[in-house]
Structure 1
């Protein structure tokens, strides 16, 4: 019940922040739909794997990663985190309640984009499991990345700057992965590799999986080292 109450309160606060609300709600859907515009009617699984990778990247990057960073930075600076921690809720319950809205909104957006893509002719995946892994690992990566980045972010407005390195690394992984297998070493490359395997039945499955897990471990260590409950 504590987690649900915190999640409901955080959702209201999130939607009141215009910059965060636009980044979390409008940009991912807009870019995700735009990515389908230049596809030919007979586009195959390879082309659609790129589109789906971009859609996942936009939703996870904006709705989960950016929102997590901005929300935790804002709640810390207004001493909300400190007040919550002085109550009965555990640290895990507090974080779960504060981060749940970003995850739920992200999942809702991905369902909407999946329906739109199917309507526009996206083929069914050759293997659903890698897409499920891309989604779960991508959410985990963006959550721990957001927790880590929030420790280096003074306000929700500053999150527009501090989230750029990881976000551009994710974009670079998707783009470079099209031309070189080395792209899988970047955070977005692992995600794109899993999607490619899901859609085409081939691709760097194990390297992509290892890359995603490696980035999650690294960002988890950074989150543990950098995250702060109290404002300086």
Structure 2
């Protein structure tokens, strides 16, 4: 798996389009979002610009740096028959998928840490009240987005079509998972439904890690939701992932 990860890291460095979406997009979107967040009425929810921007930055990194990038990578390796050839060797299926995902996941982790440091300095955010929740949310988000990337790759015919097949989850997560608009600003009934979306528990844990006002019941609910989506995604990959190109 380490050898697969090193090879994938080399290929990642040679793909300008993947680097653009995985590295530059998550770094630039928070800058564009700041003006819109500053116009929101955040006082009633007990939030400020920094407590919205920091989880949003991590959400962008997970969506574009991990999820969208992995869909294109899996589709490309399948169309090039790389996955099919690897299955004839010693690596097991899980090792092949994990080896291909490892460089992007590590990149997403480093990128998230850089964004957290930048937001803390620029927006003068205080230290997290419950750092263990923020760390747990980030780790769950990395694993979940990697699994969802493999699921989406099953319905992605080509590398080019990955830009289309990733749009539903990206748009849904950006608008209704608390990435750009906190769930606290939505009507209670709508917020309860949106809390069940895949990326919602990740954002909830990260934001709750900084505010420190997330109760044990809410934290356990968010963890259970994230784990449920992860288990469902892993089951879908084991059941429907395609290892050969569609002809």
TM-score with structure 1 length normalisation? 0.89
The 1:117–1:176 alpha-carbon spacing in structure 2 relative to 1, beyond 3 Å, is closer
In structure 1, the partner of 2:47 is 46
Alignment of 1:198 onto 2:209: yes
Distance of 2:182 and 2:225 partners within structure 1: 15
1:136-215 matches, within 5 Å, as 136-171=139-174, 172-174=176-178, 175=181, 177-178=183-184, 179=186, 180=188, 181-182=191-192, 183-203=194-214, 204-215=218-229
Structure 2 residue corresponding to 1:22, chosen from 20, 41, 59: 20
In structure 1, the partner of 2:86 is 84
Structure 1: gaps (5+ residues): none
Distance of 1:11 and 1:24 partners within structure 2: 13
86-95 or 135-144: bigger deviation? 86-95
In structure 1, the partner of 2:230 is 216
Displacement after TM superposition at 1:126 (Å): 0.4
In structure 1, the partner of 2:135 is 132
184-193 or 79-88: bigger deviation? 184-193
Distance of 1:78 and 1:34 partners within structure 2: 36
TM-score with structure 2 length normalisation? 0.84
CA RMSD of aligned residues (A): 2.1
**Matched position secondary structure for 1:46:** coil
**Matched position secondary structure for 2:47:** helix
In structure 2, the partner of 1:114 is 116
Structure 2 residue corresponding to 1:73, chosen from 72, 75, 95: 75
Task: Summarize deviations over 1:197-230 as a string: whole Å, max 9, x none.
Answer: 2122223323322221222122222222221111
Displacement after TM superposition at 1:49 (Å): 2.7
Structure 2: gaps (5+ residues): none
Task: Summarize deviations over 1:29-62 as a string: whole Å, max 9, x none.
Answer: 111344456659xx99822332122111110111
Distance of 1:111 and 1:82 partners within structure 2: 35
Distance of 2:144 and 2:195 partners within structure 1: 15
164-173 or 57-66: bigger deviation? 164-173
In structure 2, the partner of 1:63 is 65
Contact 1:50 / 1:192 at 8 angstroms: preserved in 2? no
Distance of 1:188 and 1:99 partners within structure 2: 19
**Matched position secondary structure for 1:211:** helix
Task: Summarize deviations over 1:147-179 as a string: whole Å, max 9, x none.
Answer: 111111112221111112222232221136132
Displacement after TM superposition at 1:17 (Å): 2.5
218-227 or 139-148: bigger deviation? 218-227
